[in-house]
Structure 1
C-alpha cells in the first residue's frame, strides 16, 4: 500500500519568479525617457517648445530623484572620461561664448541627456536595456505609421505643427506631415522630417533583429515590427540613411567574420583587407558622388549642405582654437544664428556635419575631445562585439547577439554625422553615453557585480531573452 512521506525530496510547488511592480514601473519610465529622445521634434510639433522644455526638465529631475531612491551599484572610477571631458569643455565655454543665452539653454539639454543615459545604464541590465529600447522604438514606429495614416485618410491634406491642416500650399519644409502615405512621396513620421525618421527606423531594424536572433518571445510580432520599420525606412527616402545601412551591413559582416577566427593572428589579414576596402570605398564614394546622389534623387552637394559648410568654415577660421561657444542645436532666436544660413527661407539649426559643428562651437580642443570620445567608444564596442566572453579559464562561452548593438549603433551615427549633426543631441548622444558607460561598468553581459546584483535584487530569472 502506498504511503505518503512526510519528508518529500522535492521542493514544494511555488509560483514562477515575477518582476516586482516597482521595477516594472522603473522600466516603464525608462521606456518613456528613450521614447522622448527618439521622437525628438515630435514633442515640439505636437505641443510647442514650452511644453517640450517642461517635459525635458521635469523628466530629468524625476530621473535624478529615482536614482537617489534606487541607489544602483555604480563604479564611479569606470566612467567614459573622454565623454565627460567633452561635456566639461562645453560647460566651460560659458566663460567665452558669444551667444551665452543659446549656450546656457543647450547645455541644459546636454546635461539632461547625459544624466538620463547614465541613469538608464545604472538601473537596467544589458538585457533590459535592449528590451526597453525595443519597446520605445515600437512606440515611435507605431505612432509614425498611425499619424501618417490619420493624415492620409481623415485629414487628406498636409498638416502643419500643432495638428493644423493646410490646404493652401506652402514650402514643404514647414509641414509636419505631407500626406504622402498613399502617393509614394517621402514619409516624415511623428518627427516631421524624413531625415530624422530614417536613422531611427534603421536603428529599430537593428534592435528588433537582435531581439529576434536572441530568441525573444512573440517572434512573429517581432518580424512584423522589423517589416514595419523597414517600410518606414524605405519610405523616408534618405540618402544618408541608405549609406548608413550599407555601413551597418559592412560592420556586421566584419564582426561575424572576426568571430570565426580561432587565433588572434588570424584577424590581421581581415583587418588589412577591410582597411583597403574601407579606404578604397570612401575614395570611390567621393569620386562617384555625383552619380550616386543623382541615383538616390539628391544633389551632389547633399541638397545644399556644401553652402552651409562653407559658411561654418568661415566662422571656424576666425576662432579656431576654442570656438564661439557651445550651442547644439543652433538656437535660431539668437541674433548670431537668426538668418545667418537659410534653407528654403528658414534659419538652419545645425551645420549638417557633426565634426564641423563641434569645431565651430568648441574649437580644435572640442574637436579633439569628441574624436577621442568616439575613438574610445568604437574601440571598446568593437572588442565587446568580436571577443568571446571570458573572465576565467573557460574559453568556449557563446556570443550574445546583444554585444553587436553598440558597434552597429556606432556605424550608424558615424555615417549619419557626415551630413547631420543629430548624433550630438537627443537619442544619438543619449545612446552614445549609455553604451559607453554600460560597456565600462559591465563589460560582460549578465556577469559582474553590477549585472548580478541588479538581477538578484529584482528577482529576475537567471535565463532571459535579450
Structure 2
C-alpha cells in the first residue's frame, strides 16, 4: 500500500536565483560607458571639446573606483591572471607614450596617448568583470540607444526644428548656407525610403553612423539567433527582429560606401565560419580554407581591376571623395621619419599648430588620415605599423578559432556552438575593413573593442549555448 512521505526522490522546485543588484548596476554602468564611447561625437557636438574631455576623465576615474576594490577583495582562486592581459596592445600604448620623446607635437601626443590608455583600460575592465553573454547584451543595449536616439534626433530636426542644426547648437545664417559637412544633423530622414540624402544620426557623421549600424546588425542578429535557439517568447523574437530591421534601414540611409564593403566582407566571413563549423575532418577544413582563399583572391583582384566601376556603383569617385589628396599629404610627411614616425596623435588635435590648417577638406581641418595604416605610419612609423598589425593579427587569430572550434567543456564530446561566438570575429573584420578609409579602428571606441575582445578571448576561450562561459581566472 502506497504511503505519503516527507522525503521525495526529486529536488524541490526552486525559483531561479535573482541576479545581484551590484551586477545589474555594473551592467548599467558598462552600457553607459559603451554608449559614450561608440557615440563619442555626440558628446563632442553637445558639450564641446572641453566638456567631452571632462566626461572621458570622469568615466576613467569611475571605472578605477569600481575595478580596484573588485580586484582587491577577490579570493585567491579567482584573482585576475595578469599574464592574460593584452600585452601586444599594451606595448602599442607604451610606444604611443614613448613617442612624446621625439614627437613633432608633444602636447598632442601626451593628450591623445592618455585617451588611448583610458579606452584600453575600459576594454580590459569589461573583459574582466563581464561574461561573454553580458558583453554582448551590453553592446546590444548600447547600440539600441544609438539606433533609437539617431532616429528620434533625425525625426526631431526634420519635423520640429525644420532646418539643419550645427554642432553645439551654434546659430547659423541660413541665407548664406554653410557647407553641408559642417552640420550635426540635416533632418532629411524622411526625404526618401531608401535612396536619398544621407542621414548622420546623433553622431553627426554618416560614415560613423553607417559603421555603428553595421555593428548593431551583427549584435542584434546574434541576439535574435540566441532567442530563436533558446525558445524565447514570440513577442521578444518580433521585437529583436524589428531592431535588426531598423538598424539595417538606417545603415542603408547612412549611405557609407566603406560600410557597404564592410557588410560584404562580414557576410563572407560569417559564411566561411558557418561552413567551417560543419567541417568535421582535417581534410574538410583544408578544403574550406583553400576554397575561401581562392574566392577572396579573385574577389580582391576584381575589386582592384574594376575599382572605378565599383566606386561608381557605390556612388563614389575613383578619388574616394578626396581621400587620395589626404593620403598623398600624409605619405609625404610620414616619409620624413619612416622608422619611428613623427609622434603619436590619434586623433589629430585640430587646434595644435602642427595640424591646424595642414590638410583642409570642405573648409574643415582634417583630424585623421582616413586610413589607419597610413595614420600609424605618420605617427609611429614602420615600427607602429608592425605593432598595429600584431594587435589586429592576434585579434583575428583568436576570434577565428573562438568562432569555428567547437567548445569541449565536458568529457562526452563537443558542446553546442553559441551564436555569440561569432560576434568578436565579425566586429574585428568590420573594423579592419573600415580601417582602409577611416582611422577609427586604431583609436577611441574601435581600439576599446579590440582591447576588450583580445583580453576576453584570453580569459574565456569558449562560450557554449546557452551562454555558459569557460572562464579562466575571471569572476564573470
On the 8 A contact 2:103/2:342 being kept in 1, the answer is yes
Pair 89,453 (structure 1): closer, same or farther in 2 beyond 3 Å: closer
Q: Equivalences for 1:41-440 in 2 at 5 Å?
A: 41-71=41-71, 73-164=79-170, 166=172, 167-168=174-175, 169-183=177-191, 184-215=196-227, 217=232, 218-391=236-409, 393-440=411-458
Instruction: Choose 160-169 or 37-46, whichever is displaced more.
Output: 160-169
Separation of aligned partners in 2, 1:451 and 1:19: 21
Query: What value does the CA root-mean-square deviation take over the aligned residues?
Result: 1.8
Whether the aligned pair in 2 keeps the contact of 1:325 and 1:362 (CA below 8 Å) is: yes
Q: For the residues of structure 1 that align with 2:212 and 2:282, how far apart are their CA atoms? A: 35
Q: Secondary structure at the match of 1:179?
A: coil
- For 1:79 and 1:198, how far apart are their aligned partners in 2? 31
The change in CA–CA distance for 1:7 and 1:265 in structure 2 (over 3 A counts) is closer
Residue aligning to 1:29: 29
Q: Offset at 1:430?
A: 0.8
In the alignment, the residues of structure 2 paired with residue 286 and residue 328 of structure 1 have an alpha-carbon distance, to the nearest angstrom, of: 29
Aligned-residue offset at 1:222: 0.7
SS in 1 for 2:157: helix
- TM-score, normalization by structure 1: 0.94
* CA pair 396-14 structure 1, distance change in 2 beyond 3 A: closer
Matched-pair contact (CA < 8 Å) for 2:409–2:470? no
Distance in 2 between residues matched to 1:345 and 1:307, nearest whole Å: 14
CA contact 1:102–1:334 (8 Å) conserved in 2: yes
Which secondary structure state, in structure 2, belongs to the residue aligned with residue 419 of structure 1? Answer: coil
CA distance in 2, matches of 1:163, 1:10: 65
Distance of 1:239 and 1:212 partners within structure 2: 26
Quote how far apart the aligned CAs of 1:392 are: 5.4
On the 8 A contact 2:131/2:469 being kept in 1, the answer is no
Residue 96 of structure 2 contacts residue 380 of structure 2 at CA under 8 Å; is this kept in 1?
yes
Gapped regions of structure 2 (runs ≥ 5): none
Give the total of aligned pairs. Answer: 454
CA deviation digits over 1:323-349, x for unaligned, max 9? Answer: 000000000111111111110111100
Q: Return 5+ residue gaps in structure 1 as ranges.
A: 455-466
Structure-2 separation of matches of 1:250 and 1:281 = 11
1:266 positional shift? 1.4
How far apart, CA to CA, are the structure 1 residues paired with 2:93 and 2:409?
A: 32
Measure, in 2, the Cα distance between the counterparts of 1:90 and 1:407.
26
Q: CA, structure 1 residues 393+263, in 2 after alignment: closer, same or farther (shift >3 Å)?
A: farther
* Structure 2 CA distance for aligned equivalents of residues 452 and 304 of structure 1: 46
TM-aligned CA deviation for residue 220 of structure 1: 1.1
Q: Which moved more, 1:127-136 or 1:1-10?
A: 1-10
Is the Cα–Cα contact under 8 Å of residues 33 and 59 in structure 1 kept in the other structure? yes
For normalisation by structure 2, the TM-score amounts to 0.92
Displacement, 1:6? 4.9
Cα 1:372/1:301, change in 2 over 3 Å: same
